C-alpha cells in the first residue's frame, strides 16, 4: 500500500512539513493545519513527488460535513484523507482518494462502534491509536481484513518494531528521530 514504506512521517507544524518535503519519504501525513494552507501544502507535496495524507479532522476551519468533504476532495485533492467521520471517508472513496479511518482504542464500546463504521465505509486502511498495543493491532487487522497503520504514542524505535511485528503495515509518528 505504501510501496514498502513502513514509517509515515507526520507533520504538526510548518517547519515539520518543510523537513518532510526534503526527505526521501514518498508518503507523508499532515496532522494540524488551517484550511487556508491546504492548497499550497498539497501543491508543494505534488511538486516534491510526495503523496500527502491529510487528517481532515484536524484541519482548523474545516467542518466535518459533506460540503467540507467535497471541497477537500474536489479542490484540494490530496492523495488521501484520514478521518474518524463517515461522510469524510465515503466522499474520499467516491473521489478515488485513499480513505484511512482513524480508530481510537478507548474501550470495547468504541471498538465495536469503529468496527461497524469500517463495515459501512470499507476504508482502504485503518489507523489504530494508540499504536503501542500489539494485541489490538493484530485484532483490528484480523477483524477488518484491512491494512493497519499504528499511530499515537510511538516514541521509540522499539515501538515501531513492535507495531510492525504485530502486523501493522506502517507507523505514523511526529518524532523526527524515528523518520530516519
Q: Is residue 107 part of a domain?
A: yes
**Number of residues that make up the chain:** 180
- Domain region containing 64: 7-178
How many alpha carbons lie under 13 Å from residue 69 in its C-beta half-sphere? 21
Residue 99 is assigned to a structural domain of this protein: yes
Report the CATH number that the domain containing residue 118 is assigned in CATH: 3.20.20.70
Q: Is residue 138, in this structure, part of any structural domain at all?
A: yes
How many separate domains does the chain show? 1
- Residue 180's pLDDT is 76
Q: Does the residue 100 lie in any domain?
A: yes
Tell whether 1 is covered by a domain.
no
Do the domain assignments include residue 2?
A: no
How confident is the prediction along the chain (180 residues), in pLDDT tens digits per residue?
999 999 999 999 999 999 999 999 999 999 999 999 999 999 999 999 999 999 999 999 999 889 999 999 999 999 999 999 999 999 999 999 999 999 999 999 999 999 999 999 999 999 999 999 999 999 999 999 999 999 999 999 999 999 999 999 999 999 999 997
Domain membership of residue 108 (yes or no) is yes
Q: How far apart are CA 114 and CA 140, in angstroms?
A: 10
Q: What is the pLDDT of residue 64?
A: 86
Please indicate, yes or no, if residue 111 is contained in any of the structural domains.
yes
Amino acid at each position: 500500500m505504501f510501496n514498502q514504506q513502513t514509517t509515515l512521517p507526520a507533520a504538526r507544524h510548518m517547519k515539520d512539513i518543510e523537513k518532510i518535503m526534503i526527505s526521501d519519504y514518498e508518503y507523508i501525513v499532515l496532522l494540524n493545519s488551517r484550511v487556508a494552507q491546504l492548497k499550497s501544502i498539497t501543491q508543494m507535496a505534488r511538486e516534491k513527488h510526495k503523496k500527502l495524507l491529510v487528517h481532515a479532522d484536524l484541519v482548523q476551519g474545516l467542518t466535518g460535513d459533506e460540503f467540507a468533504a467535497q471541497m477537500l476532495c474536489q479542490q484540494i485533492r490530496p492523495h488521501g484523507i484520514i478521518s474518524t467521520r463517515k461522510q469524510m471517508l465515503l466522499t474520499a472513496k467516491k473521489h478515488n482518494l485513499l480513505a484511512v479511518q482513524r480508530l481510537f482504542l478507548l474501550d470495547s464500546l468504541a471498538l465495536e462502534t469503529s468496527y461497524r463504521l469500517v463495515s459501512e465505509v470499507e476504508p482502504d486502511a485503518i489507523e489504530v491509536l494508540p499504536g503501542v498495543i500489539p494485541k489490538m493491532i493484530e485484532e483490528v487487522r484480523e477483524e477488518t481484513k484491512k491494512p493497519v497503520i499504528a499511530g499515537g504514542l510511538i516514541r521509540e524505535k522499539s515501538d515501531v518494531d513492535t507495531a510492525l511485528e504485530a502486523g501493522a503495515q506502517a507507523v505514523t509518528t511526529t518524532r523526527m528521530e524515528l523518520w530516519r
